[in-house]
Structures are given as structure tokens and as C-alpha cells.
Amino acid sequence: MDENPEYYEASEEYLEKSVRLKGAAPEAHLKLAQIYAQLGKIKEAKKQAEKAIKKGIQGGALKEARAILDMQ
């Protein structure tokens, strides 16, 4: 991913709006978790990763969500 913090902040804003929609896709939660992790918001990242898992994310994305849950 790009190392530009402005990119992450803009993405964060749009993804937060996306996951607030009823029936948001698990992938949206995972992407938001990844953005939070890049911004150092580990607690928020873990919450979104948990939501992605609960919504049934699968395959490599499931591994990514679990990796976020393992972050310190």
C-alpha cells in the first residue's frame, strides 16, 4: 500500500461510511481494518477484522483478518 498518510485518511473516511450501511460486505470491514492498522489504530483495526470474520470473509482475506487480530 501507498505510504502517504493522506491516502489512508481519505480511505478511512470513505470506508467508515461504507461499513455503516446495513449489509456492508465483509471485505469493506477488512479494508477498514487494514487502514486502521496502517494508521496505528490497532484497537479499531481489530474490531473491524472481527466484524469481517463474523460476516463470513473467506480465503486469503480470512488469513489477513486473523493476522490483524494477532497484532500487538
As a whole-number percent, the residues of the chain with pLDDT over 90 amount to 65
pLDDT at position 2 is 53
Which residue range(s) make up the domain with 36? Answer: 5-69
Burial class (CB in 10 A: 0-12, 13-18, 19+), 48: buried
pTM score of the predicted model: 0.85
Domains in the chain, number: 1
Q: What letter would DSSP give residue 3?
A: -
Tens digit of pLDDT per residue, the chain (72 long)?
456 778 888 888 888 888 887 778 999 999 999 999 999 999 999 999 999 999 999 999 999 999 999 999
